[in-house]
Every structure is written in structure tokens, then in C-alpha cells.
Amino acid sequence: MDLQRTFVALGALFAGLAVALGAFGAHALRASLAPRDLEIFETGVRYQMYHALALILVGVLWAYRPQSSLLAAGWLFSAGIVIFSGSLYLLVITNTRWLGAVTPLGGVAFILAWICMAWAALRPTAGS
């Protein structure tokens, strides 16, 4: 599978999972979680959806401007989703509070991914 399809497929899978997790949080967890924990869980879902859509955008952009900075952005968005959102889900579900220390690493991956996308947009194309 080429990278364009890989990133679009990963983004779609992460987006679908965000919808499922959002519904799970709203229906199954609402009664059993403290309001602050539900808010933390919902933050994970929200960031997962935003960055799943960004990952799809990376796949679309790859068709027009395949370059290493977009490749990096795609993998950084993927890592950010797993680390940032995943650590928040696990923190809430397992009540393992030290996982909150891992969450910023996912945030750094998101920031770096956005910088890579900006770099891809600003880099001149061959022959420009």
C-alpha cells in the first residue's frame, strides 16, 4: 500500500475509533467516572479526532507533494494519537495517574507534525 492510502486509511480508522470511544465515554463511562475524569477522556477523544482528520489531510497532500516532511508529519500524527490520547484513556480507565506524565510526549509529536506540515507547504517544489 502506498503512503497516501496508508495515511488516509489510518486517519479514517483513528476517526472511527474516536467516534466509538466518544460514544463509550458518553454512555458507558458517564455514570462511573468523576466529572474531571470524563473531561480528561473527552479531551483524548477530541484530540484524536482532530489529528485523525489531519492524518487524512497528510494522505491527500502526499498525492500532490510527496516529500519527507509530509512523511514525518504522518507518522508524528499517528504517534501523537497513540501517546497523547491513548495515555489519557488509560489514565482514566485504569486510574494510573503517572500516565499523565507521558501525555505531553504525544503533544510534542502533534506540534512537530504541524511544523512538518508547514514546512511541506512552504518548501518550493522542484522547478519553482
Asked whether 120 and 65 are in contact (CB, 8 A), the reply is yes
Residues 6+ apart with CB under 8 A from 95: none
DSSP 3-state of 10:
helix
52-66: pLDDT as tens digits:
999 999 999 998 888
56-98: pLDDT as tens digits:
999 999 988 889 999 999 999 999 999 999 999 999 999 898 9
Residue 125, phi-psi category: left (phi > 0), alpha (psi -120 to 50), beta (remainder) = beta
What percentage of residues in the chain have a pLDDT greater than 90? 74
Angle between helices 103-122 and 35-64 in degrees, nearest 10: 30
